[in-house]
Chains A and B, each alone.
Chain A
C-alpha cells in the first residue's frame, strides 16, 4: 500500500501520454525512475492515434543535417526497440525496414524530389546516406503493380514502417509493467518550480516531482513558458484514407501509400495549415484517392472504410525541440513531428539522458534557442 504522499510524488512527471510521452516514460522507467504520466482523456488532440506509421529517413534533414543523423540513428535502433517491446510488453509492433519508395506521377515531380535529395546529400556528413533514383522500368521491375502514370521513384533502403497503434499500445503496456503511473483525465494546468523541483496542478489536485518532462504535443506551447522553456509548436493538419483489408501486395512502405499488417491500405497524408480544424476535407481526400489509384490501379475497386484527419505537432522549422530549462534545470521539453520514427531515440537515448540530467550532445542542435538567433541582414 503506497501512502498518499508517495502517490503524489515521483522522480519524474511526464506531461502528455502520446507516443512521445509514452516513449520517454518507458525510457525513464527502464532506467529506474519512478514516473508519473499526466494525460488528457479520450477526446484530445493526439497525433499518436492518427499517423501514417513510417519509420522514414529519406528526405529528412534538409536545412539541418543533425536531424538527418538523428533520424538515421533512430531508424538503426528501431529493431532493438521492437525487441524490447516484444519482450517487455508482449506485443509485436510489426517493425520492418524493407526500404521505402516515393513513386512520382510526373517528370516535374520526380525532378523536384531528386533535386531536394541532391541538396540534402551535399550537406556535410550526409554523403553516405544510400538512396537510388529509379526510372520507370526499374520502378516497374521492383513494384510490378504500378500504373502507367508512374514515371519513376526514389528509393532508400533505410526506410521502414511499423504498426503505429501497436507501438502506442506497446509503449503504454511496457510502461505499465515497469510501474509507470499513468493518469488519464489529468490535464496539467499549471507547473510551478519550487524547492529545486516542480509542482504540477490541475482540477484533479497537485503532484510534485524532482523533474518534469513536457511531452504534451501541441499543449507544449502553453506549458513551456511556465518553466522557462519555449516550444512554439503549431498544428499542421494531415488527412488519411484507409481501405478495407486486402491480401498482402505491397511489401514496401511508400511516402504516401502503405499496407498494414492487418491488410488495410493507408493512403496519406496531406499537409494543411488550418489551425485546430480537424474536419475531413473532401477535395483533399479526392486528390489523395486519385493519386493512389494512378500509382496502383488495383486499389481502385477497394472500399474505403475510414478517413480521418489529425494534427501534426510542427515547430517553426519542422525539426524537433529538445531542451532543458536554463532558469529551472530539471524541466525538459520533448516534442517533434515524427514521433514514430524517433521513438527508438526517445526510449533508448533521450530518456536516460534526461534522468542523468543532461541532454545528449547529439541533441544539442534541437534547442529552441535556434529560433531566437538574430537574423543577419
Chain B
C-alpha cells in the first residue's frame, strides 16, 4: 500500500478509484490491485475499516471480547489491503463525480477530492462506490435533544475511543444490530437500564415465509447468541409502539408507549437504532438510477450482475448496494473489482467469470436469511412517519412532520423536491441524509401514494462540504469564464 497524505501526492489519474475503506472498498481495492490495476482508495476517516471495522488498526479497546471476533476479523481485511500495491488516501473526501472532459470519446470521470482543506480534480477510468450504509432516521419527539444519539454513534465512540455512555442508558429500536450494540456496550461497562424493542409484533407473521432460509443461514446462530446474551443480562421491553424523548435543554426521560400504557424512564442517554439503509447521496448525485426496495424499505441503486450501476463505469459495492452485512460487503467488493478489471482490459471475460464463481456462491450463502431479517425488522409505520405533528423531521432546518403533511395535502406537493423548495427540508448541511426517507414517507402517507411513486431528492455536488476557497482554486476554462462574465 502506498499512503497518500497530501493532496498533491495524488496522481493525475487512476485506472480505478474506490470510495470508502470499509470491507467492500478494502476488498475491491485489494483485489483490483492484485490484478495489476492502478488503484486509489479514498476514505474520509483517518483510519481504514469503515463502520463494522471502524478503527480496527488503532482502537484503544484492549479486551477483545468486548467487540467480538467478527470485529477483529477486519484486521485481516485491512492487512490484505496493506500488502497490495494500491494507493490509500485517508482523511480524504470525495465530493463530486463528473464526466472527464479530457476523454473526448467519453467514459472517464473527473472526481473532486478534498484533503486537509485543499481540493483537487483528478481522473478515474472506473469507479467503485463503497460508501456503505447509514442508520435509518428515527424521528421521534425530542430526538434532537442532547443526550439522544444513534446506537451506532455509541458503537463508534466505543470502537474508536474506548468510551461508553456514563449514567443511565436506554437503547431503543429494532434490527439485528440493536442486540449486538446493546451487548457490546454492556460488555464495555455501560449501565443499560432498558432495551426497548419496537419490532411490530405483526412482523413475525410477515417474516414467517422466509423463515426456512433463515434457519439455514449464518445469521441464525450469531443472532440467537446475541439475542440470548442481551436478554439474559438486560431489561428487555418488547412491543413498544411509541417513544418520545423529553427534557429541557437535555434529555431527562424517555416516554415509552406499549399499546395503551405509558411508562416514563429517567435516563441520561437514549440510543436510537432502527436498522441501516444504503447511503445514496453520492450515487444519486452521480446520476445512478435507484429503485425503492419494498422489502428493505429503502432506496437502492439499480445494479447488474457485476454491480455496475446505470452510469457506465460506476459500480457500487457493499451495503451501499443494498444492505447485506459485512461479509457480503467484502464479497461484493471483490465481484465489483473483477468487473472493473475486465472493463479495464486486465481480465478477459472467462477469467473474470471463473474468478467470480466461488465469490457468488459464498455471496448467496452470506445473504441467505437476509430476507427474514428485513421482513422481521421492518420498522413500524409510526416510526417511519411520525404521528405527532410537532416531531422535527429535518434536523438541520427544523421542519416538523406536521408541516410536511399539511403542505403535501394543502399545496398539492407530490414529491420531496417540491417539498424542499417550499419548506427547506433537505437544504441544510446534511443534504437530506437525515430527513429524506422521512419526508418521502410522510408525503406518501398524506397523498395515499407509495415511496416509489413519491421519489427521492435530486442531489448535486458537493456531496460533502468543501469551502468556497477550495472551489475557487480549481481549474477554470475559457468557455466557463464566458458563461459567467457576461
A contacts B: CB pair < 8 Å: yes
| Contact for B475 among A243, A286, A288, A292, CB less than 8 A | A286
With known contacts A42-B417, A168-B422, A271–B483 Cβ distance under 8 A: yes
How many residues of B are in contact with the other chain, CB < 8 A? 48
Instruction: Tell me whether B422 and A305 are in contact (CB under 8 A).
Output: no
Instruction: Tell me whether B472 and A304 are in contact (CB under 8 A).
Output: no
CB distance from A126 to the nearest CB of B (A): 21
Instruction: Tell me whether B471 and A241 are in contact (CB under 8 A).
Output: yes
Q: Which residues of B contact A280 (CB under 8 A)?
A: 98, 460-461
In the complex, what distance in Å separates the CA atom of A184 from the CA atom of B412? 6
Q: Which residues of B contact A109 (CB under 8 A)?
A: 485
Within 8 A of B (CB), among A278-331: 279-293, 299-309
Q: Does B180 have its Cβ within 8 Å of any Cβ on chain A?
A: no
Of A169-177, A206-214, A354-362, the one touching chain B: A169-177
Instruction: Tell me whether A304 and B465 are in contact (CB under 8 A).
Output: yes
Q: Which residues of B contact A293 (CB under 8 A)?
A: 468-469, 472
CB distance from A45 to the nearest CB of B (A): 12
Q: Which residues of A contact B112 (CB under 8 A)?
A: 282
Instruction: Tell me whether B413 and A165 are in contact (CB under 8 A).
Output: no
Q: Which residues of A contact B205 (CB under 8 A)?
A: none
CB distance from B283 to the nearest CB of A (A): 15
Q: Does A34 have its Cβ within 8 Å of any Cβ on chain B?
A: no
Q: Does A262 have its Cβ within 8 Å of any Cβ on chain B?
A: yes
Q: Which residues of B contact A300 (CB under 8 A)?
A: 467-469, 472
In the complex, what distance in Å separates the CA atom of A104 from the CA atom of B472? 17
Query: Would you give the 0/1 interface string for A20-61, flagging 1 where the beta carbon is closer than 8 Å to chain B?
Result: 000000000000000000010111001011000000000000
Within 8 A of B (CB), among A147-198: 165, 168-169, 172-173, 176, 182-185
| Contact for B480 among A43, A286, A308, CB less than 8 A | A286
In the complex, what distance in Å separates the CA atom of A329 from the CA atom of B473? 56
| Contact for B484 among A184, A279, A288, CB less than 8 A | A288
Instruction: Tell me whether A42 and B454 are in contact (CB under 8 A).
Output: yes
Residue of B nearest to A108 (CB): B485
Chain A facing B: main interface SS: mixed
Q: Does B416 have its Cβ within 8 Å of any Cβ on chain A?
A: yes
Of B74-82, B163-171, B425-433, the one touching chain A: B425-433
Q: Which residues of B contact A185 (CB under 8 A)?
A: 414
CB distance from A207 to the nearest CB of B (A): 16
In the complex, what distance in Å separates the CA atom of A165 from the CA atom of B415? 16
With known contacts A42-B454, A283-B476, A262–B96 Cβ distance under 8 A: no
In the complex, what distance in Å separates the CA atom of A304 from the CA atom of B431? 11
With known contacts A165-B424, A305-B428, A287–B476 Cβ distance under 8 A: yes
Q: Which residues of B contact A288 (CB under 8 A)?
A: 484
In the complex, what distance in Å separates the CA atom of A370 from the CA atom of B411? 37
In the complex, what distance in Å separates the CA atom of A310 from the CA atom of B417? 13
Residue of B nearest to A49 (CB): B421
Residue of B nearest to A175 (CB): B411
Residue of A nearest to B430 (CB): A305
Instruction: Tell me whether A43 and B422 are in contact (CB under 8 A).
Output: no
Instruction: Tell me whether B480 and A287 are in contact (CB under 8 A).
Output: yes
Residue of A nearest to B410 (CB): A176
Instruction: Tell me whether B486 and A271 are in contact (CB under 8 A).
Output: yes
Instruction: Tell me whether B414 and A303 are in contact (CB under 8 A).
Output: no
Q: Does A270 have its Cβ within 8 Å of any Cβ on chain B?
A: yes
Given contact pairs A41-B415, A169-B422, A270-B483, enumerate 19 new A-B contacts (beta carbons under 8 Å).
A42-B415, A49-B417, A49-B418, A165-B424, A168-B421, A172-B422, A270-B484, A272-B483, A282-B110, A286-B475, A287-B485, A289-B472, A291-B484, A291-B485, A293-B472, A303-B467, A304-B471, A305-B429, A306-B462
- Top 4 closest pairs, chain A to chain B, by CB: A42-B415, A283-B480, A289-B471, A300-B469
